[in-house]
Structure 1
């Protein structure tokens, strides 16, 4: 696996392809980074994505160069509220963090010629991992809730040892008749 490889769910990959089509007329560092992400991606089903990968709507802690750590939620696009909480994929930093694993870093250049080194320190919350935890918890409680309302008891028929076991009914036909209904 290449060092600059990113990991995306099938849904996240489709979303990046849609962004690539939507912003086909744009140029610059963001589009080049988007192409780089699409070119170096490993696509996994959402159940197979490790919990330390930054996916859409993940809350991540990252550091730019040697600055202070910052925490944001990776979002699809710019939103009006809450200010300062979201980091959209339409921004260079949001796209750079998207698909990285904890401890993985990426260097990007902005449109002014400055290079930033972005390190994904930690994935604090990942929707796919949270869903897997919820499903595991529900499976743990499921058997108790699915207990049968009745029990099957062996030897429920009163058959004496001398009677024919192949014909347990009184007429010997093997058919319980209408009274069984």
Structure 2
């Protein structure tokens, strides 16, 4: 796979197109968005390889060969703990989207210095997990798909019902029942 290609799901590609349409002239994401969109191979989410970084994937990556970092690629900035997510609204997050394991994406940071973002490992990809779950459901035996709860009638089901008798041993409830 060439360094200038990426694999995007239809959803991820659409998000990048919307981001590009909303970019202003001096937006630092504009050149990255242009490269991603122009070199993208767009696939359905069921067809994306499991070693490709998609939105909501947990990935390990390194910048210029330094120690790797692990983050979840997110759509926008999250209010969760710092360091857990890497939004695609940042150059590094956007660079990782659509890369396959081992692929490198060069980009120029805000200081004008070129960085090489390398995708080391995709630990979790929602599309792969969904496919795996669906495959397991299809393989499940019919007996295992039946409800686990079975209604069993108790011993008193066939017993005659008892009617409480009044103080004079009659079953007439009296005028108060009317």
Aligned to 2:131: 132
- Are residues 1:10 and 2:27 paired? no
1:146-175, Cα deviation, whole Å (9 max, x unpaired): 68xxxxxxxxxxxxxxxxxxxxxxxxxxxx
1:94-151, Cα deviation, whole Å (9 max, x unpaired): 000000000000111012111111110000000000001111111111533568xxxx
Aligned to 1:113: 112
1:43-74, Cα deviation, whole Å (9 max, x unpaired): 00111100000000000000111210100000
Q: Secondary structure at the match of 1:68?
A: coil
Aligned-residue offset at 1:29: 3.2
- Structure 1 residues 135 and 27: CA distance shift in structure 2, 3 A: same
Aligned to 1:99: 98
Length-normalised TM-score, structure 1: 0.76
Aligned-residue offset at 1:26: 4.2
CA distance in 1, matches of 2:115, 2:81: 25
Aligned-residue offset at 1:28: 4.1
Aligned to 1:56: 55
Could you list the structure 1 runs, at least 4 aligned residues long, displaced by more than 4 angstroms after superposition: none
Aligned-residue offset at 1:30: 1.5
CA distance in 2, matches of 1:122, 1:107: 17
Instruction: Check whether the contact 2:3–2:105 (CA below 8 A) recurs between aligned residues.
Output: no
Q: Secondary structure at the match of 2:8?
A: strand
Structure 1 gaps, min length 5: 148-181
Q: Which moved more, 1:45-54 or 1:26-35?
A: 26-35
- Structure 1 residues 22 and 142: CA distance shift in structure 2, 3 A: farther
CA distance in 2, matches of 1:63, 1:107: 12
Structure 2 gaps, min length 5: 147-178
Instruction: Check whether the contact 1:6–1:99 (CA below 8 A) recurs between aligned residues.
Output: yes
CA distance in 1, matches of 2:76, 2:83: 13
Instruction: Check whether the contact 2:3–2:104 (CA below 8 A) recurs between aligned residues.
Output: no
